[in-house]
Amino acid sequence: MPLHDFRSPRLFVDAPLAEEASIALDRAQANYLGNVLRLGAGDTVLVFNGRDGEWRADIAGRKRPDQLILTAQSRPQDRLPDLHLVFAPLKHARLDYMVQKAVEMGASALQPVVTRFTQVSRVNAERMRANVVEAAEQCGILSIAAVAEPVPLERYLSQRDSQRLLVFCDEAAEVADPAAALAGASPSCGIDVLIGPEGGFAEDERAALLKQPRAVRLALGPRILRADTAAVAALAVVQTALGDWGKA
């Protein structure tokens, strides 16, 4: 597989990509290329749409960048691991951080769930999607993680595919080696990693989680982690034990 070009700017475009295709830039994209990056006609960028791989494109336009002309594919399309991050929403800055890091860690879908002790009642899905795109642009990721609307935890549990492995992090779990807790678990039908709210799970929620057919209750060490930190730690453990960080 071609190596990622870390030096060329990358831009997400919601349009089909093919050789010699011409893509019109919207005002925000034109401003970013022309005024922020100081690029103009004849300069080259990398573009992707989450479907057709990554392409080199020449900037065109007289006074300012207004379109891209695709020249050649630089990398073919790949596929993210079947790894979903399910989480109780957080306040703006910490939610932004969690979304960006989840994308960097390889999550293919983000599902907010409302629990008993969730402290944020509303979620800006468009802001989440913007953070997904920004993280993908900056980190050379070709696929775009899906962003779902928030649902109550009980509804999520009743509707999720019971064949998927559910890994839920619980500060009330016994402190143990988290990698050992995942030993023998199978990711063949996909993995859901669940991070609870800052106040933890209510007892009835914990009981409902333990009743899920393929559930692993995971401790993340002897210290209490903030929810956004716990998400990164849990995804790292899961990716190492079951995902594309390990031999699998």
- Spell out the SS3 assignment of 31-64: HHHHHHCCCCCCCEEEEECCCCCEEEEEEECCCC
Closest CA to 42 of 50, 31, 51, 34: 34
**pLDDT over 70 at 17, yes or no:** yes
Separation of alpha carbons 79 and 51, rounded Å: 9
Average pLDDT over residues 33-38: 93
Q: How far apart are CA 84 and CA 87, in angstroms?
A: 10
Task: Give phi and psi for 29, each to the nearest 5.
Answer: -65, -40
CATH fold group of domain 10-75: Ribosomal Protein L25; Chain P (2.40.240)
pLDDT on residue 6: 77
Q: Domain 83-241's class?
A: alpha beta
Phi, psi of 229 (to 5 degrees): -65, -40
- Mean of pLDDT values over 1-27: 87
The pLDDT of residue 176 = 77
Is the pLDDT at 212 greater than 50? The verdict is: yes
Residue 242, number of CB atoms within 10 A of its CB: 23
pLDDT at 87 over 70: yes
Q: pLDDT confidence of 221, banded at 50, 70, 90? A: confident
Judged against a pLDDT cut of 90, whether residue 92 lies above it is answered with no
Q: Is residue 1 scored above 70 in pLDDT?
A: no
Has residue 130 got a pLDDT over 70? yes
Query: With pLDDT > 90 as the criterion, what percentage of the chain qualifies?
Result: 79
Whole-number average pLDDT of the chain: 92
Confidence (pLDDT) at 88: 95
Given a cut of 80, is residue 140 above it in pLDDT?
A: yes
Q: For the chain, which residues make up each domain, given as ranges?
A: 10-75, 83-241
Integer angstrom CA distances of residue 137 from 11, 85, 130: 6, 20, 11
Q: Is pLDDT at 193 greater than 90 in this prediction?
A: yes
Name the region of 53 (left: φ>0; alpha: ψ -120 to 50; beta: rest).
Answer: left
Topology alike, domains 10-75 and 83-241: no
Q: Identify the pLDDT of residue 3.
A: 65
Average pLDDT over residues 61-72: 91
Please give the model's pTM, rounded to 2 decimal places. Answer: 0.92
